[in-house]
């Protein structure tokens, strides 16, 4: 059975982490496949929205620690290399994906699994889901964007405690703190996520890509730099077929039919 399921249907690419016996923890091979599918979703013009989710009771428990035990005296694994080659490319692929990424957090999301979930554009969690910055429990720091995202989402005091105490944050708290978009009952999650993804897949794809660029550049920009970026991105969006269609549909009092071009 494959550890990452990949399906493209009606403009939506769905990547499902599928190692439920290990709470969908990542092996190196699984991350390589995950990265390949993220790349396929990014370059396939027929794909206009992406869904990330997991099978079983977990979204993902981060790195498979079975691959990380070190006997005294042995050379420890180079975790920097692992981040550089596998985790960072995945996070970068999600953030720079030129189409919306919806994450359906179906259960516990721990370690890098938590931060992969939090790096999606719209994150919906099942009510029973939990986010665990488990890293400090094994002497590590939050990676996969955790030290970037957490302070910005929840503020430094909460981010620091979440990282050091490594306590599970339940889905409702995560929403209240601004880490995620919404929480739904467990049995509703698949339909809610599919509904959001299909709505986004019928939307102005190039406009969405520009929204991502602007939003993700914002924390590192001055106000003036951001105004300049908005000008440039809006110029580009204004040349899209979808802008023309959106304005025409408004004036003709009908729903727009976006092509994603």
Q: Using the rule CB under 6 A, which residue among 140, 211, 217, 249 binds ligand T3D?
A: 140
Number of continuous H segments (helices) and E segments (strands) in the chain: 11, 10
The 3-state DSSP class for residue 69 equals coil
Provide the mask over 111-130, with x wherever binding to ligand T3D is found by CB under 6 A and - wherever it is not. Answer: xx------------------
Between 14 and 144, name the residue whose CB sits nearer to ligand T3D.
144
Q: Return the number of the residue (9 or 78) whose C-beta is nearest ligand T3D.
A: 78
Name the one range near ligand T3D by CB under 6 A: 56-64, 185-193, 217-225, 244-252: 56-64
Please give the full DSSP string across 80-138, using - where no structure is assigned.
HHHIIIIIHHHHHHHHH-SS-EEEEE-SEEETHHHHHHHTSSEEEEETT-EEE-GGGGG
Of 30, 38, 49, 61, the residue at the interface with ligand T3D (CB under 6 A) is 61
- Out of 2, 36, 44, 138, the residue judged to bind ligand T3D by CB under 6 A: 138
Query: Which is closer to ligand T3D, CB of 88 or CB of 234?
Result: 88
Cα separation, 208 vs 197, in Å, equals 13
Q: Are 258 and 205 in contact (CB under 8 A)?
A: yes
Nearest to 130 by CA among 61, 229, 224, 50: 61
- Smaller CB separation from ligand T3D, 5 or 83: 83
- DSSP-based three-state secondary structure for 191: helix
Q: Which stretch binds ligand T3D (CB under 6 A): 60-68, 197-205, 237-245, 248-256?
A: 60-68
Question: Is residue 85 a contact point for ligand T3D (CB under 6 A)?
Answer: no
Whether the CB-CB separation of 100 and 49 falls below 8 Å is answered with yes
- Sign of the alpha-carbon torsion through 94, 19, 146, 108: positive
Site residues for ligand T3D per CB under 6 A: 22-23, 25, 61-66, 68, 79, 82-83, 87, 108, 110-112, 132, 134-135, 137-138, 140, 143
């Amino acid at each position: 059975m494959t550890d990452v399921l990949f399906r493209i249907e009606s403009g939506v690419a769905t990547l499902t982490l599928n190692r439920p016996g290990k709470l969908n923890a990542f092996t190196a091979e699984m991350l390589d496949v995950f990265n390949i599918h993220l790349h396929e979703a990014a370059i396939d013009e027929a794909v206009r929205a992406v869904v990330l989710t997991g099978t079983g009771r977990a979204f993902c428990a981060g790195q498979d620690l079975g691959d990380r035990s070190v006997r005294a005296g042995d050379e420890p694994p180079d975790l920097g290399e692992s981040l550089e080659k596998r985790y960072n490319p995945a996070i970068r692929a999600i953030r720079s994906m030129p189409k919306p990424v919806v994450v359906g957090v179906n259960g516990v999301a721990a370690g890098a699994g938590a931060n992969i979930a939090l790096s999606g554009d719209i994150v919906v969690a099942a009510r029973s889901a939990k986010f665990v910055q488990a890293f400090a429990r094994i002497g590590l720091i939050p990676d996969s964007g955790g030290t970037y995202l957490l302070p910005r989402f929840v503020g430094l005091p909460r981010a620091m405690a979440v990282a050091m105490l490594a306590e599970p944050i339940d889905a409702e708290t995560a929403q209240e703190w601004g880490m995620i978009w919404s929480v739904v009952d467990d049995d509703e999650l698949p339909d809610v996520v599919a509904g959001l993804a299909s709505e986004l897949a019928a939307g102005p794809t190039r406009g969405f890509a520009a929204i991502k660029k602007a939003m993700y550049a914002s924390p590192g920009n001055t106000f003036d730099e951001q105004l300049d970026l908005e000008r440039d991105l809006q110029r580009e969006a204004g040349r899209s077929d979808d802008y023309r269609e959106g304005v025409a549909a408004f004036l003709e009092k009908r729903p727009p039919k976006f092509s994603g071009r």
